[in-house]
Amino acid sequence: MTEPDVSEPVHPGGEPRGLGESLDAPAADVPTVDELTSATPAASTQPEVAVVQIVPDDAGPRRLALRRAPRYRAFIGTGAIIGVVLAVVLTALFPDDGRFSTASVMGYLAVSLALVGGLLGGAVAVLVERPRRSR
């Protein structure tokens, strides 16, 4: 068995393209869009309807455990939005001292408080998900 020559680059289409050859030329084994659309029958454009048959279980009804988990994206997003709103309120409440523009102060506060709010929102989601201890 011969070892492959690692000094030569491997090209996905087989042989490397020469100078002046177009890189936009389609590969030989890939069908064109026209071929794909002409091969597809018109009836397949209609949505398929799935038929579900319910088969009775011999063991009788089963008890299933439903796990309710919070949506982390919603908690983190809400925390970030609250942080941005808090940044706008803080920027409006405190006077401008002249060292920085109001827009830059609001931008820095918005990014910082959105990060903190998102982290706190994620922490709240984790606390909500923790199972309650039985007494």
Model confidence over 30-64: pLDDT tens digits? 666 677 666 555 555 555 566 666 666 666 666 77
3-state secondary structure of 67: coil
User: In 3D, which of 73, 88, 85, 84 has the Cα closest to residue 121?
Assistant: 73
pTM (2 decimals)? 0.49
3-state secondary structure of 1: coil
Q: How confident is the model at residue 81 (pLDDT cuts 50, 70, 90)?
A: very high
Instruction: Show Cβ contacts of residue 16 under 8 Å, excluding neighbours closer than 6 positions.
Output: 9
Q: What share of the chain is helix, strand, coil (3-state, %, to 5)?
A: 45, 0, 55
